[in-house]
Amino acid sequence: MPSIYLRPEDYGPYSVPSATEQQVIAASALIDGYLRRPEGMIWMPDFAGMPCYMKAMSPRYTFVLTAPIAPGRNVEVIVPGLANMTDWIGEVAILDRAHPNNTEGTVIQNLRPGVLTLLNVSLPHAAGEKIELGMCIFEERNLSNNRSIARVSRSPIERLLSGYGRYGFGRRLDQKKGMYSDTNLLAAVQSFGGPPMWVPFDVTQASISQSTNEIWIPAGIMLAYYSDVRLRYIAGFTDLSMPSILKSATAATITSQIAVPELAGNIKMARAGDTAIQRFADTVLDSDTRALLDEFRARLVV
């Protein structure tokens, strides 16, 4: 479902009384493109009102329940034809998105051919309901040496749904300290036992800072900090809590397209006789609108 940053009751207050739904959708898509956020800025709640998934994201994989499942922990779900996709461990599965009062998100704890194991299911779900994967923001981050803080690219962070960490070699200057020695235990495990395993950490013990866009990650085995983490989280706003900045930017984009429809597309200059109109930038978003949106733009994190 596409992002819609202006509701019908906002058309008048934001000076676009004649706007159409198609214009709002088009303007919202332009804003998502500038923000470098294909998932958009709107999240949808689960049955309890908690952030559950990003509205504009399309599921990467969809399965249909062949049998009902009951609430509980470590719930096994039969998925005919499912391969052993180890990268799915830690993925957030959205159950029954079509019915908001029965929607919930849970984490894939384990899988084997034909069977998914869900960490926790709060509600019963009937046969025929859908399980959808890939509807949360996913980022894999390296943690700085001796620090347990990960900075993510999207803001504002509303909820961390799944977190996995692993131990590996140190970063950058650690090589000079002997961390890359091929005689230590980690090197032996990686040589003969494959890459380090991803292990879950308790997301309820993590601390989120909306002001710095950072997540404090709890330590793992023997209170050692992880080298790398995989985070699946929700960031943005609800339809009703959309900030005025996004609404104003959407309205300004619609206004510019209505005022000069000839330059709404990929046209740099339009000329009629002795009259010429030239776009001053290669975008329909003016500098004032871009300045309004910059605080929500996805950041490059290194």
Give residue-wise pLDDT tens across range 49-89.
999 999 999 999 999 999 999 999 999 999 888 877 778 89
* Residue % of the chain over a pLDDT of 70: 82
Residue 114 zone, left/alpha/beta (φ > 0; ψ -120 to 50; rest):
left
Domains of the chain: 8-42+244-296 (no CATH), 43-133 (2.40.30), 138-235 (no CATH)
For tokens 């704890």, the residue is 109
Instruction: Please tell me the distance from the alpha carbon of residue 245 to that of residue 243, in angstroms, as a whole number.
Output: 5
Instruction: Please tell me the distance from the alpha carbon of residue 66 to that of residue 127, in angstroms, as a whole number.
Output: 5
Q: Judge whether 187 and 195 are in contact, CB under 8 Å.
A: no
3-state secondary structure of 74: strand
Cα dist from 221 to 51, 113, 257, whole Å = 29, 29, 57
* pLDDT band for position 21 (cuts 50, 70, 90): very high
Consecutive H or E run containing 92: strand 92-95
- Confidence check: pLDDT of 34 > 60: yes
Token pair listed for 282 = 């290669």
* pLDDT band for position 281 (cuts 50, 70, 90): low
Q: Judge whether 292 and 245 are in contact, CB under 8 Å.
A: yes
Instruction: Please tell me the distance from the alpha carbon of residue 121 to that of residue 105, in angstroms, as a whole number.
Output: 8
Q: Averaged over 138-167, what is the pLDDT?
A: 91
Residue 18, Cα to own-chain centre: how many angstroms? 33
Residue 290, phi then psi, degrees to nearest 5: -65, -40
Token pair listed for 46 = 């689960």
